A and B are shown apart, each in its own frame.
Chain A
Amino acid sequence: MDLAYSPEEQAFRDEVRAFLAENLPDDMADAVKAGRDLGKETYDRWHAILNQRGWLAPNWPKEFGGCEWNAVQRHIFDEECSFAGTPRVVPFGLTMLGPVLQKFGSKQQQDRFLPRILSGEDWWCQGYSEPGAGSDLASLKTRAVRDGDHYVVNGQKTWTTLGQYANWIFCLVRTDPEVKHQEGISFLLIDMDTPGIEVRPIVLLDGTPEVNEVFFDNVRVPVGNLVGEENKGWTYAKYLLTHERTNIAQVGSSQAGLAAVKRMARAEMSGGRPLIENPHFAARLAQVEIDLMAMATTNLRIISQAAVGQAPGVEASMLKVKGTVIRQEINDLARRAAGPYALPFASEAVEGSNEPAAGAGPVSAQYFNNRKLSIFGGSNEIQRGIIAKVKLGGGK
């Protein structure tokens, strides 16, 4: 056992760090560190910077323009990005759809869509969840009926993250209502400009329209936009979910979040002393840091296995549960650290006029917004169910 990174891995980290130091714009890093809402323009700018360096698609094979990094390299890259405060790379095209098209898409679909994902020409969003089908995704009802060389799509998707920016959506649709739930689902690529599509923003409890409802009213989609075979969409969806669950522990984000809490707790005063010296706050902080240190190693253990080709099983579910619980605990600590300054809605309102608390950022918004972490991508209840089923139910 050797807990140190190899010299090659260390060299890679240095290379990433140097690149970030040179190429990440200060205004971008400031906005990320302050937890401000990032608009499309910021995501596009960062996307273009990474694309220029050829570092946009760590998980793609080289033949499609990816880096083909192994799991350890990807982890190092994510970690350095979190420390530096980069915007996240919008995952829908790059980490979700890309691998599906590479494995199951037609040559034509690959040639048409993959380069446009890299160039940023297309912004994809995900059409999985429906009002009646959240954690029970297979109960989805959006219908696609074949009509000549088109499918006619009717139904509604929801929780479509950043759908307001997207010009394409990949959807799970029901093409056969007569068979069992998981069968009869197809994977369809839909141009958001097609007549009959309406996108309505959902304002979340932190006041941001981060997600949307997408309505389909007799939307005609060319048959050529079907990925793989009709009624086999569940297979592709599951494949996509395994990719969504890479970097699921979000160790880098938690580490960056913890560092931010410490910065705040050094600046905030409590009883005439820095809050970080308050024994109760210090104990809470230490507790979550201890948990995070262990989880970082759990994460690396699983990543090392993945790097030599072993697919994670229930470990992915374990990382999702632990990772999100830790992240939410850090959000809670940040909220507490802000004290009375957690009350204002817009931190900008007090920024610049208030020295110690200005660094607090929109801590309450982040705390509430990140309640979603234990709900989406298969809720933590679903993950615990998977773990128990595999370990108790004689599964693999």
Chain B
Amino acid sequence: MNFDLTEERQMLQDTLRRYLADRYDTGVRNAILDSDTGFSAEIWAGLAELGVIGALFSEADGGFGGAGFDIAVVFEELGRAGVVEPMLDTAILGGGLVAALGNAEQKALVEDVIAGGAHLALAHGEPASRYDLNRVETTARTEADAIVLNGRKAVVANAEAAGHLIVSARESGAVDEPDGISLFLVPAGMAGVTLTGYPMFAGGRAAEVVLDDARLPASARLGAAGAAFPALETAVARAGVAMAAETLGAMHAATALTREYLLTRKQFGRPIGTFQALQHRFADMLIELEQAQSAVINAAGHLGEDAPRRDLHVASTRNLIGRVGRLVAEESIQMHGGIAMTQEYELAHIAKRIVMADHRFGDTDYHLERFIALSTAAA
């Protein structure tokens, strides 16, 4: 057994941590949160230049990583610094799907993504689908050599900034059938596509996307007709590792801030960290944080395995991270008292990131059910 990072990954971690420690403080982030775009083009270019985006793609796709531990290293650092830039949406989801399904021409987009020149967004979830990946009501109808999309996509992160939306739509089958779902590359600003954008609670922006007879050429389809579901599942499993790692990083940050506060804040004439009631709770946070660390390792280490085993680990990890995340966020706020409730204090943002991560691609309950289903099937 060896739990050390490879030299390359260690270097990536060090470089990224240093870059973000220098560039990404609370003031910078708050300015980004207040901006119209919800992210910083300068930071994005910096991340691309450092090779952070390339580390999320395999060599075959033009990157130099792409494995579970590459994803975990990058996202843990992004989470530690509370980065709101849409790495998940552009690189893991959008870029990952184009790399997995695209033809040579479409894959040119991946190069742009790695270089920092393109933004993408996955428009998959719908108002009635909640976290179910297989439930797609949006339809794709073939008319001569055109494809016509109709439907509504919910809370599409990074939609406004994206040069292309990757839109899922059903070409055949019942509304919740995995077969029959296709993905399409939809250029921004296309006729028949309406975006209603808004900021998200923990940073970044999203949009409701309405597709009203949006007409695409057949060449916009990614991969074979109706066969996109396995690639979607893979992309979302990778996103699950990314989000678990990001939340882990944020939990490290919250715990560090709480430790600092327990040591310095005085009440009744002594540091509050000397009160046993708080000591025990802080100890519990640390124990759970170790659990979270291990869970991320489990998911990252099993990401390359076959789907049922991979997804079992992703589900177990996301369930555990969701539970620990709620504990760490709530206890950090409580032990800080009122100061943690203020927007300008670092912990407020970190806590929001931790809790809101539970609302993308399945929360603790969803992943508990998924774990039960997958482990029952495996037995």
Contact = CB atoms under 8 A, between A and B. Distances in A.
Given A270-B130, A349-B198, A372 B348 contact: no
Interface string A361-375: 000110111011011
A135 B337 contact: yes
A345 B356 contact: no
Interface in B297-350: 326, 330, 333-334, 337-338, 340-344, 348-349
Given A340-B125, A340-B155, A204 B343 contact: yes
Interface string B332-376: 011001101111100011011001100110010100110000000
A345 B135 contact: no
Given A339-B359, A340-B155, A356-B127, A349 B196 contact: yes
Contacts of B152: 354
A136 B265 CA distance: 11
Nearest to B275: A381
Given A203-B342, A205-B351, A354-B154, A343 B356 contact: yes
Contacts of A113: none
Considering residues B154, B269, B330, B355, which has the most beta carbons from chain A within 10 angstroms of its beta carbon?
B154
B200 interface: yes
A365 B200 CA distance: 11
Given A203-B344, A205-B352, A207-B343, A355 B127 contact: yes
A333 to B, nearest CB: 10
Nearest to B364: A336
B343 A340 contact: no
B132 A271 contact: yes
Interface string A292-329: 00000000000000000000000000000000000010
A134 interface: yes
B222 to A, nearest CB: 23
A11 interface: no
B342 A205 contact: yes
A395 interface: no
A371 B342 CA distance: 12
Given A135-B267, A203-B343, A269-B130, A343 B334 contact: no
Nearest to B134: A271
B208 interface: yes
Nearest to A203: B343
Interface in B195-210: 196-202, 206, 208
B247 to A, nearest CB: 15
A336 B340 CA distance: 22
Contacts of A132: 266
Give the interface size class of chain A: 35 or more
B3 interface: no
B155 A344 contact: yes
B31 to A, nearest CB: 14
Interface string B95-132: 00000000000000000000000000000010111111
A320 to B, nearest CB: 14
A344 B334 contact: no
B334 A374 contact: yes
B342 A280 contact: no
B128 A269 contact: yes
Contacts of B360: 340, 343
B278 interface: yes
B277 interface: yes
B155 A345 contact: no
Contacts of B330: 328, 371
Nearest to A275: B130
A281 interface: yes
A202 interface: yes
Contacts of B129: 269
Contacts of B363: 336, 339
20 contacts: A136-B267, A203-B344, A205-B349, A270-B132, A271-B176, A280-B365, A281-B365, A339-B363, A340-B154, A341-B154, A345-B200, A346-B199, A349-B197, A357-B154, A368-B352, A371-B333, A371-B334, A375-B341, A379-B334, A381-B275
Interface of A: 129, 132, 134-136, 139, 158-159, 202-205, 207, 268-272, 275, 278, 280-281, 284, 328, 332, 335-336, 338-346, 349-350, 353-357, 364-365, 367-369, 371-372, 374-376, 379-381, 384-385
* Closest 9 pairs between A and B when the two form their complex, measured CB to CB: A349-B198, A205-B348, A136-B267, A203-B343, A345-B199, A364-B201, A280-B365, A340-B155, A342-B359
